Amino acid sequence: MSKRIGLYPRVRVEGGGSGAVSQGGAVLLAETVRKLGLDTAISTALAPWRKPRAVHDPGKVLLDVALATALGGDCLADVAMLRAERDVFGPVASDPTVSRLIDALAAAGPKALTAIRSARAEVRSRAWELAGANGPAADGSVIVDIDGVLVPAHSEKQDATVTWKKTFGHHPLVAFVDHVRAGSGEPVAALLRPGNAGSNTASDHITTTGIALAQLPKHLRRGRQTLIRTDSAGGTHAFLDWLSKPGRWLSYSVGMIITDAVHQAVLKIPKKAWTPAYDPGGTERSGAWVAEITDMPDLTTWPKGMRLIVRKERPHPGAQLRFTDLDGLRLTCFATNTKGGQLADLELRHRRRARCEDRIRNARDTGLRNLPLHDTAQNQIWLEIVSLALDLLAWMPMLALTTETRRWEPKKLRLRLFSAAAQLVTTGRRRWLRFTTRWPWTNEVIQAIDRLNALPSPG
């Protein structure tokens, strides 16, 4: 008779091991940094903050925190996971050194932010160039989504106030470049604001858009090929006037509030003017229609060339209708200055703005769930660190992964690739990371490393 020992085999546990590397798959991110020249760019940008005879380079310190955040860390002290693997990540600064750098950058204010953002913009252009047909601007156009995000605070922090949802914290505005269906998206702006900041404050939208445009390659910073997409918070006179200013000529697709004038215009639309809306796959959607009402309400105070497009749809089960809805159908409206094109295509393009919510969810999983520092200037630097981490989580799949794996979100990347352990072996004066063949995604890690190695090194 066999003795029952439980559902899992029993193993003995002890310390003192060597040769094993935890988070071995994170070498994908380190190799992405090296191939894009991000380490050199950040080091050069932060050179003014390097003290004489300093042991640690400020750029390396900032990148280490960003790498730890990309691996799931949510505070400065989580850089310890890299410090434990010196042979893979190099020398990592102590916690006091990291804190002193953040304080120094925060004290420098806009100067430090400009340095970090300039380095990111420089590397972004190289990443898109190396990505080629896989880049977000491969067809010559680019889409930037802007949205607000509530970040709760669980202690008294500078500028933490009651938010419009009656929570307590901050209300930053963020912007992401949409990678469309082939990938995820990458951050291009993060503006920290108090918790009571308005959702539709035009000046904040203008500032955020300016930061985002500065992150794009120069030929995309103005012109119709760059589309700015927002929800109804961006549907203000001042913001649309700024986007349409001569010399800037940006395209836009912004949500609009259903005012009484819009509602009255919808009532006058003849039945034959409604055309079927599209599903995400581009096929006709049952129970949804779109129509244009540009010539009905008075738009003389709005920018020239603005078009108003409305959509009506049978509400989902359990959805609550509003007073402005029509005959039991949910109404939505958006404005765009795109000329031509089928209404259903323009409406589907605008509705895909919902992908920005996925980017925000991923950002929450990558350091944005909580702002760990006290001062606003310190937390603005933390937002730049989060943006760096999200950049790496977007650039690595864009350059090294294919098809379905390129769409993996940060949580899945950490679970399947980054958390893979490996054995560190030194032979022939070279160090090798050997991943176990038992790990289900070892092939994905090896193939991704091979693709990164095949890329040209920065000149």
Q: Is the pLDDT of residue 323 over 60?
A: no
Tell me the pLDDT tens digit for each residue of 64-89: 999 999 999 999 999 999 999 888 89
Q: Say how far apart CA 44 and CA 122 lie, in whole Å.
A: 12
Q: Please identify which residue in the block is written with the tokens 């009905």.
A: 296
Q: How confident is the model at residue 318 (pLDDT cuts 50, 70, 90)?
A: low
DSSP designation for 194? B
Q: Where are the beta strands (DSSP E) in 179-320?
A: 185-191, 226-230, 251-256, 275-278, 284-292, 307-313
**Least-confidence region, from 96-110, 158-172, 174-188:** 174-188
Q: Please identify which residue in the block is written with the tokens 């419009």.
A: 164
Two tokens, residue 13: 């546990």
Q: 351, 227, 336: which is closest to 277 by C-alpha?
A: 351
Q: Is the pLDDT of residue 459 over 80?
A: no
Higher pLDDT, 10 or 365: 365
Q: Is the pLDDT of residue 182 over 80?
A: no
**Least-confidence region, from 7-16, 138-147, 319-328, 395-404:** 319-328
- Three-state SS at 46: coil
When pLDDT is averaged across residues 354-380 and rounded to a whole number, the result is 94
Q: Say how far apart CA 209 and CA 176 lie, in whole Å.
A: 10
| DSSP per residue, 229-250 | EE-GGG--HHHHHHHT-TTT--
Any bridge partners for residue 38, and if so which? none
Residues in the chain: 459
> What pLDDT sits at residue 4?
63
Let me know if 456 is exposed, middle or buried by CB neighbors in 10 A (0-12, 13-18, 19+): exposed
Tell me the pLDDT tens digit for each residue of 368-415: 999 999 999 999 999 999 999 999 999 999 999 988 899 999 999 999
**Least-confidence region, from 61-65, 314-318, 347-351, 392-396:** 314-318
> What pLDDT sits at residue 37?
95
Tell me the pLDDT tens digit for each residue of 226-259: 999 999 999 999 999 999 999 899 999 999 988 8
Q: How confident is the model at residue 57 (pLDDT cuts 50, 70, 90)?
A: very high
Q: How confident is the model at residue 315 (pLDDT cuts 50, 70, 90)?
A: confident
**Least-confidence region, from 182-186, 271-275, 419-423:** 182-186
> What pLDDT sits at residue 1?
52
> What pLDDT sits at residue 261?
84
